[in-house]
Amino acid sequence: MKKKHKIFSKKRSRPFSWKSTLVSVGAAFLLSLGMGLLLMRLFVSVDPSSSGVENDDKEVSMAQEKKAETVKVEADVFVIQTGAFSTEEEANGWKDKLVSAGTPALVWNRGEYYYLFIGQAPSKEEAQAIAAGIDKETYVKEWNVTGEMKTDQPEKAKELVRQVENGKIPGSEDAEAVWGEDYDIPQPADELGILAWLHFFEKQLFS
């Protein structure tokens, strides 16, 4: 009786495939790239310094600029001048002497000179009459103030400017409501009155 021999067949190993390997590597790469881009977009969207926030700030700034309007000032007065100096220090020195002696004075820089004024009037005749009663060398001349200012309360500002142009002193509370407390607004007790207001317009508000 013949012995039966079991025949064991050897498993054939599958040949190595570069194609399948490359496909797997490529798929893994694309997946990791997609996840990276997703995370990047997430961080950028929550960054407070992102372009979206900057655009919002620009829009607010542009809205504020559009809200502000220009108000024109055109006024003529006749000033009583007692000096013109080439330096601010010298002009203020004489101003302090006048104020100490009881004479209201104002230094106004325009161009190369610092003018020292001690009074004003709406007409030349009135200014000359005031100057005649001052025991100092004086000179009467016309003084023109023209310019523009920007404000977010144009109607109120126009009314205050109109008062000054017509020789009326505005209330300080009304002025503060328009320009705020950051400006050195002339007070009703200022003896130079309209001249102080015109100086305020030109030196602090004109653009």
Topology, domain 71-205: Alpha-Beta Plaits (3.30.70)
- C-beta of residue 110 within 8 angstroms of C-beta of residue 144: no
Lowest mean pLDDT of 35-44, 71-80, 81-90, 180-189, name the range. Answer: 35-44
In which order are the strands placed within the sheet that holds 113-121? 106-110, 113-121, 69-85, 139-151
Q: Is a pLDDT exceeding 70 seen at residue 88?
A: yes
- What is the model's pLDDT at position 116? 97
At 181 the pLDDT is 78
Classify 139 as helix, strand or coil.
Answer: strand
Secondary structure (3-state) at 145: strand
Is the pLDDT reported for residue 26 higher than 90?
no
What's the average model confidence in pLDDT over 56-74?
68
Element (H, E) at 97: helix 88-100
